[in-house]
Amino acid sequence: MLMSSQLFTSKHNTLARLTLLIFVLGGAGFLGLMDMIHRSPYVRYTKVRREQPVPFSHKHHSNLGIDCRYCHTSVEVSGFANIPPTQTCMNCHNVMWNESPMLEPVRESWATGESLEWTRVHDLPDFVYFNHAIHVNKGIGCATCHGRVDQMPLTWKEKPLYMKWCLECHRDPAANVRPKDKIFDMAFDPASLSREEREALVEEYGIDHADHRLTNCWICHR
């Protein structure tokens, strides 16, 4: 009692309230700022070309007319699209450019049997469940989610992969659906179809988004 009456006089009441206010607002603001930074495209490497052990260019290889499935073999049948093993590169590079210094890590991996360690470009948090097969088999094209991969010299992430982004499409799949024979066509734009045509596709593919089913938390957090 004695101490406090000496330390804090009545005029400190205003000061104390002010300090509290500053702490609360400042603290909240600070946390908010941290959160914004944490979610910003900058921290998430959105549209940033990632360094890789081998400067693999989708642009070069797509220009040759190699289908995505030649390398991403399981994209139609499994949740995971697959990253090709060294063997796949060696199908061609056993003969072609087999002295290029850029391909040295590939040859070394081939000779030693040690895996190449690619830097992940997309990586959802572990508490989110994603599945390629369901999207690809229900008329959502690679380009809708990954952008023009066929024009990327080094792969980057086109979309920041916010939850908001998943939900936007799950609320209205008709905005992005395309004919199944155009899934791997990187240049095709779903907007070139009329709204009615796209709604007909949603019907045809049996995309089940009645009663907001696709926005239930357990769809993606299971």
By a kind-dependent CB cut-off of 5 to 8 A, residue 87 interacts, out of ligand HEC, other proteins, none, with other proteins
Question: What angle is formed at CA 191 by the lines to CA 190 and CA 193, rounded to 5 degrees?
Answer: 80
By a kind-dependent CB cut-off of 5 to 8 A, residue 107 interacts, out of ligand HEC, other proteins, none, with none
User: Of residues 28, 36, 162, 204, which one binds ligand HEC by CB under 6 A?
Assistant: 162
If one asks whether residue 29 binds other proteins (CB under 8 A), the answer comes out as no
User: Of residues 64, 111, 187, 217, which one binds other proteins by CB under 8 A?
Assistant: 64
Task: Give the count of beta carbons closer than 10 Å to the beta carbon of residue 63.
Answer: 11
The rounded Cα 66 to chain-centroid distance in angstroms is 23
Nearer to ligand HEC, 23 or 97 (CB): 97
Contacts of 207 (CB under 8 A, 6+ apart): 138, 139, 173, 177
CB 104 within 8 A of CB 110: no
Q: Which residues on adjacent β-strands are paired with residue 72?
A: none
Nearer to ligand HEC, 8 or 97 (CB): 97
By a kind-dependent CB cut-off of 5 to 8 A, residue 110 interacts, out of ligand HEC, other proteins, none, with none
If one asks whether residue 142 binds ligand HEC (CB under 6 A), the answer comes out as yes
- Taking the alpha carbons at both ends of the chain, their separation in whole angstroms is 55
Query: What's the CA dihedral at 99, 103, 105, 111 to 10 degrees?
Result: -50
Compute the least distance from the CB of residue 181 to other proteins, in Å.
10
- Using the contact rule CB under 6 A, the part of the chain among 2-10, 16-24, 81-89, 193-201 near ligand HEC is 81-89
**Residue 73 Cα distances to 56, 60, 139, 220, angstroms:** 17, 19, 18, 24
Comparing CA positions, the residue from 51, 149, 56 lying closest to residue 100 is: 56
- Using the contact rule CB under 6 A, the part of the chain among 2-10, 15-23, 26-34, 163-171 near ligand HEC is 163-171
If one asks whether residue 34 binds other proteins (CB under 8 A), the answer comes out as yes
Question: Can you read off the two tokens belonging to residue 188?
Answer: 């095709």
The rounded Cα 141 to chain-centroid distance in angstroms is 14
If one asks whether residue 131 binds other proteins (CB under 8 A), the answer comes out as no
Compute the least distance from the CB of residue 148 to ligand HEC, in Å.
9
User: Of residues 28, 34, 37, 83, which one binds ligand HEC by CB under 6 A?
Assistant: 83
By a kind-dependent CB cut-off of 5 to 8 A, residue 169 interacts, out of ligand HEC, other proteins, none, with ligand HEC
User: Of residues 2, 95, 111, 210, which one binds other proteins by CB under 8 A?
Assistant: 95
If one asks whether residue 165 binds other proteins (CB under 8 A), the answer comes out as no
